[in-house]
């Protein structure tokens, strides 16, 4: 099992990853809860040598079956004149491929379709999600293939890779280390997350991470925050 895990990590890290968008984002997990509904808010602030990007995403989703969920988002972003406005719309579906704990790792798929607001610019994403738990540790990996098209941009394929190692110290406090790979970008940094469970399926999840680029000399730091309420 350990050899298989090492081989999987090595394979994914050796892929020629290409991405020129915002590589740092949420790390997806494969588990779907039957009958779940969720409200989600994502916040991202990226500071580079010449720009400070601020983006937010608000979404609602629910499970269509015990294995499939569908979520809809609106995305807002601050422009070059520091005005914050609607940037894009997005549909996202997650598909749990394996029952939790049945095999040596849990597997899932992610599909996304995004359209820029008032522009002929589209983006379709498909991703493979893997999570392996050993003791109180979790290793989660995401690999995405992205296709962009439309009059407002060049048609092209891209890919991204995300990795998260998490120590489940207690439900409310789970420190982790994250890695993101993209075109001319390698980012790594710490994160902290937790979950507070209530009656039934109600629970509040949160994530906070700070990722720094380590592949170049230019400044590139990203602060990301996720808040989810599942019910």
Structural domain total, the chain:
1
Residue 116 confidence (pLDDT) above 50: yes
Q: What's the confidence (pLDDT) of residue 21?
A: 56
Residue 142, domain CATH: 2.40.160.40
Residue 37 confidence (pLDDT) above 70: yes
Q: Say if 231 falls within a structural domain.
A: no
Q: Say if 158 falls within a structural domain.
A: yes
Q: What's the confidence (pLDDT) of residue 215?
A: 80
Q: Which structural domain, as residue segments, surrounds residue 198? A: 2-226
The per-residue pLDDT of the chain, averaged, comes to 90
Distances in Å between the alpha carbon of 66 and those of 29, 38, 63, 131? 15, 15, 7, 18
Q: What's the confidence (pLDDT) of residue 154?
A: 85
Tens digit of each residue's pLDDT (9 = 90 or more) over 165-215: 999 999 999 999 999 998 888 999 999 999 999 998 899 999 999 999 998
Of 167, 161, 158, whose CA–CA distance to 187 is shortest?
161
Q: Say if 98 falls within a structural domain.
A: yes
CA distance 187 to 182: 9
Tens digit of each residue's pLDDT (9 = 90 or more) over 20-29: 457 899 999 9
Q: What's the confidence (pLDDT) of residue 59?
A: 98
């Amino acid at each position: 099992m350990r050899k298989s895990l090492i081989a999987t990590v090595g394979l994914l890290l050796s892929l020629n990853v290409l991405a020129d968008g915002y590589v740092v984002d949420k790390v997806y997990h494969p588990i779907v809860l039957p009958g779940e509904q969720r409200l989600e808010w994502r916040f991202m602030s990226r500071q580079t040598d010449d720009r400070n990007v601020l983006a937010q995403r608000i979404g609602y989703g629910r499970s269509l079956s015990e294995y499939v969920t569908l979520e809809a988002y609106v995305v807002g972003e601050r422009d070059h004149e520091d005005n914050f406005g609607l940037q894009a719309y997005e549909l996202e579906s997650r598909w749990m491929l394996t029952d939790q704990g049945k095999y040596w790792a849990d597997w899932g798929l992610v599909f996304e379709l995004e359209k820029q607001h008032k522009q002929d610019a589209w983006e379709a994403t498909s991703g493979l999600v893997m999570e392996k738990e050993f003791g109180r540790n979790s290793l989660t990996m995401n690999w995405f293939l992205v296709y962009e098209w439309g009059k407002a941009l060049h048609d092209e394929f891209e890919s991204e890779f995300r990795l998260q190692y998490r120590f489940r110290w207690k439900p409310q406090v789970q420190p982790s280390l994250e890695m993101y790979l993209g075109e001319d970008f390698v980012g790594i940094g710490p994160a902290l997350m937790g979950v507070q469970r209530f009656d039934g399926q109600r629970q509040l999840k949160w994530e906070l991470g700070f990722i720094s680029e380590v592949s170049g000399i230019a400044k590139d730091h990203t602060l990301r925050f996720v808040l989810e309420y599942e019910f």
